[in-house]
Structure 1
Amino acid sequence: MQKTIVLIGASRGLGFAMVEEYLTRGWRVIATGRARSLDTLRQRAQTAGGALEVETVDINETEQVAALHARLSARLAGRPVDLLFVNAGVKNDDRETIADVSTEAFTRVMVTNALSPMRVVETLQDLVAPGGTIGVMSSGQGSVANNENGNFEVYRGSKAALNMFMRSYAARHRDDPRTLLLMAPGWVRTDMGGPGARLSIGESIPNLVNTIEAQAGRGGLHYLDYLGRTVPW
C-alpha cells in the first residue's frame, strides 16, 4: 500500500526537496505552506499524477493548525499517516547575540522554531499510525554539547528549545510505540543556509530521507544527522 507523509513547511528549500524525494520514492505527499508561498507546490502538484496534495497553513496561527487537522481527518477518512514531518523554521541576523537581539525578533524565532512545531505535533499526532514516525527538522546547532564557538545564538537557542520540548513530549508518551525524530540536515546551500554552506540539497536530503526510513518502527526519540549519526544533546 502506498505510504503517506504529511510534510509541514514544504514550499521551498529543504521542505520542497523532501517533497521531490518522497514523490520519487512513490509516496503520497500532503505538503503545506503559508498561503502566499504555495505557487511552486501547486505547479508541482499538476505534474505529480495525484500523488501530491497541497494544503495551506501558517503554523504560528493555532486556529489554522486546528483547521488543518479537521481537513486532514476528513481527507484521510481514517487511513493513518505513516510519517508526519515538521520542517518549518526561520532564522534571524546571524550576527546578533542575546545582547543585541530585539524582543520582537527573539520572540519570532522562538515561536516559529520551537513552540509552533510542537503545537503541530500535538495537534496532528492522532493522524499518525501506531507504528508510524513523527519527525521535526532540528539542527546540529541545537546541540548544547557541540556549541564550542557561539555564533548564531538565537537560532541555536530556538533549536535547543525545540529539542527539549520534543524530549518532554517523548517522556509524556513513553509508552507510545511510534518513532520520534529530531533531524539535523547539515549546513545546506539554500536561501536559509546561504551560498557558503558545505552541502548541496542533493547531498543532504536523499540521505536524510534514508535515515528517516531506516528508523521506521524503532520507537523512541532519536536525535540524528542526515547520515544517521547520533547528535549529542
Structure 2
Amino acid sequence: MTAAPRRTALIVGASRTLGLALAAEYLRRDFDVIGTVRGSARTGLHDLADTSGGRLTVESLEMTDPEQITALRDRLAGRTLDLLFVSAAVTRGDLPIGEVPTEMFTEVMVTNALSPMRVVEWLHPLVAPNGTIGVMSSSQGSLTLNTRGGQDLYRASKSALNQLMRSHAARHADDPRTLLLVDPGWVRTELGGPYAELSVEESIPGVAETIEDHRGKPGLHFVDHQGQVVPW
C-alpha cells in the first residue's frame, strides 16, 4: 500500500517564538513545512531545517513588501498548500492613541493588518479547496472583551485584521476553505511580556490542535488555542 502524501503547511513569520514553534509542531505532525523569515540572517528556523530531513524549507519574505509576496507566490506556483498560516505581528509599546506618532500607527497597521491580508488574498489560490487559511489574531482584537483599555494601537490593528478577514470571508462566501482567526492566549513572548500566563510550549500545541479540529469546516471562525469561540 502506498503511503498517503504528506500535507504541506506554509507558516509566514516563522523565524522565532510562536511562528517557529508552530513550524516545529507541524513537523511533529508529519507535515512538510515551508517557513518564511525576514532577510538573509540565520535564524532558529534554519537550525530547525537542518534537523528536519529535508521536510522544512526556509523562504525569505519581508511581508510588508508587496513585491516579495508576489515573488513568493511565483516561487511556490505548482505547490498545493493544505495550510497557510500568518503568524507575524509587531507591537510598539502601550501608548494612549493620542500619543501614537503617525509613523508608528502606519507601521503597526501595515504589519499587523494590511500585510497579513495581502498574503491571504494573494496566496489564497495555492491553498487546496479543502485546506485552511489562518491568521494569528488576539483576544485584544475583540471589541466585546475590551473592558479595560490599554494597548490601543495593538488592539486596533488586531480589530482591523479581524474585520478584513470578515470581508474576505464575505467575498468568498461559497469557498469551501476553512478561515481562522486564532488567539494563542497570553503568551510569554516579546509581545506578551515576561508575566504572561502561558509559555510558547503551552500555547502552540493547542493552536495546532484547534487548526486541525476546524479542518473541513468552511467559513470564518474566531477561536482561541483551546478551541473556544472568541467574541467579536
* TM-score (normalised: structure 2): 0.96
- In structure 1, give the amino acid aligned to 2:57: E
Determine if the alignment matches structure 1 residue 92 to structure 2 residue 96.
no
Indicate the residue corresponding to 2:44 in structure 1.
Answer: 40
Give the % identical residues.
Answer: 56
Instruction: Rate the CA distance shift 1:37–1:170 in 2: closer, same or farther, 3 A.
Output: farther
1:21 aligns with 2:18: no
Kept after mapping to 1: 8 A contact 2:18/2:200: yes
Alignment partner, residue 80 of structure 2: 80
Deviates more, 1:79-88 or 1:111-120: 79-88
1:135 counterpart letter in structure 2: G
Give runs of ≥4 in structure 1 deviating > 4 Å: none
Report SS of the residue matched to 1:99: helix
1:41-190 equivalences in 2 (<5 Å): 41-73=45-77, 77=78, 79-94=79-94, 96-190=95-189
Q: How many Å separate the matches in 2 of 1:195 and 1:227?
A: 21
- The alignment covers a number of residue pairs equal to 228
Q: Which residue in the other structure is 1:197 paired with?
A: 196
Distance 1:38 1:119 in 2: 26
Q: For residues 29 and 52 of structure 2, what CA distance do their matches in structure 1 show?
A: 12
In the superposition, relative to structure 1, how do residues 224 and 37 fare at CA in structure 2: closer, same or farther (>3 Å)?
farther
| Residue aligning to 2:10 | 6
Report the CA distance between 1:29 and its aligned residue: 0.3
Amino acid at match of 2:131: G
Judged with a 3 Å threshold, the aligned counterparts in structure 2 of structure 1 residues 53 and 131 are, in CA distance, closer, same or farther, namely same
Deviation at 1:228, TM superposition (A): 0.4
CA distance in 2, matches of 1:37, 1:230: 38
Cα distance in 2 between the residues matched to 1:21 and 1:139:
20
Unaligned runs of 5+ in 2: none
- Contact (CA 8 Å) 2:11, 2:85: kept in 1 or not? yes
Q: Secondary structure at the match of 1:35?
A: coil
Q: 1:83 & 1:27 partners in 2: Cα distance?
A: 10
Deviation at 1:191, TM superposition (A): 2.1
Determine if contact 2:16/2:43 at 8 Å carries over to the other structure: no
Superposed displacement of residue 37, structure 1? 4.8
Which amino acid letter does the alignment assign opposite residue 31 of structure 1? G
**How far did residue 38 of structure 1 move?**
4.1
Contact 1:82 1:129 in 2 (8 A): yes
d(CA) in 2 for partners of 1:89 and 1:222?
Answer: 20
Is this contact kept in 2: 1:11–1:37, CA < 8 A? Answer: no
SS in 1 for 2:110: helix
Aligned CA distance change for structure 1 residues 192 and 62 (closer, same or farther; 3 Å): same
Separation (CA, whole Å) in 1 of partners of 2:38 and 2:12: 10
1:192 Cα deviation from its structure 2 partner: 2.1
Q: Give me the whole-angstrom Cα distance separating, in 2, the residues matched to 1:172 and 1:149.
A: 33
- Give the letter aligned to residue 30 of structure 1: I
Tell me, in whole angstroms, the C-alpha distance in 2 between the residues paired with 1:222 and 1:37: 35
Matched, 1:221 2:225: no
SS at match of 1:89: coil
